[in-house]
Structure 1
Amino acid sequence: MKNAAHALEDMAIDYVELAVSYIEKALSWLVDGYGFAVRARSTPAGGATRSVNLGQGEIDLLLTESTEDHPARAYTERHSDGVADIGIRVPTPPRHSPRPCGAAHNRSANRSPPERSRPRRPSVSAM
């Protein structure tokens, strides 16, 4: 079994999501001030929640602004703008990887179910 430190070596930060009160102000700050580029925009029907993916090299930031009942709005009302989520990238396990239970699983899968006695039905007599 891998030790905890070794298990973390294969992980990487995929993105950081920032909940913001005013997405255009945050975009200006990050694009003009730090050189991030807009990679994608998303506005669901109704437009009450907007998200913009910004990037610079291998860095991905996701800005989310909402004026409806949404976690981004609740976050900014309570804390102001800030980190709302951090996405962690993990490697895909090989298709042939053993199940976590390993040998114990194989033993139980090959075993027959235990014998059980059937419940007795009450005898019914015809009149």
Structure 2
Amino acid sequence: MFEFLKQNALTIVGIFTLVLGIGYFVKYAIDKNWIGETPRVGIGFLAGAVIMGIGHFLRRNYAVFASIITGGGIAVLYFTVTIAFREYQLFSQGAAFTVTCCITLLCILLSYYYKSEILNIFSCSEDSLPL
């Protein structure tokens, strides 16, 4: 694990920065009342899906980087569901739990499809369900 972190430190920092950047942009849009609550959640889901799509596109040439990108997209999806449930009350607790379970299942399926231990760590960690 330490060797992996040492080799991919800049990539991990980049994904962390990307997730925070998306969060700050959404926060800025909230402060300016540019978009309502439901479109905010839609943007979060769309951003997570686009990031995961980029990871899928890059997986043939850059397997490790693509797994990290895909993990970043999954993190965006988890944050989006958590914010939609806790801050905006757009989901009931049962619906939010079901959506996070579906995201976890998707992550597990992708980790087996890509044969990626990195995604497996994302999908099977105790912190993967933020509720």
Q: Greater CA radius of gyration, 1 or 2?
A: 1
Structure with larger RCO (C-alpha < 8 A, sep 6+): 1
* Same fold flag (TM > 0.5): no
Bigger proportion of residues as helix = 2
Q: TM-score, normalized by length of structure 1?
A: 0.20
Report the structure, 1 or 2, having the larger strand content: 1
Q: TM-score, normalised by structure 2?
A: 0.20
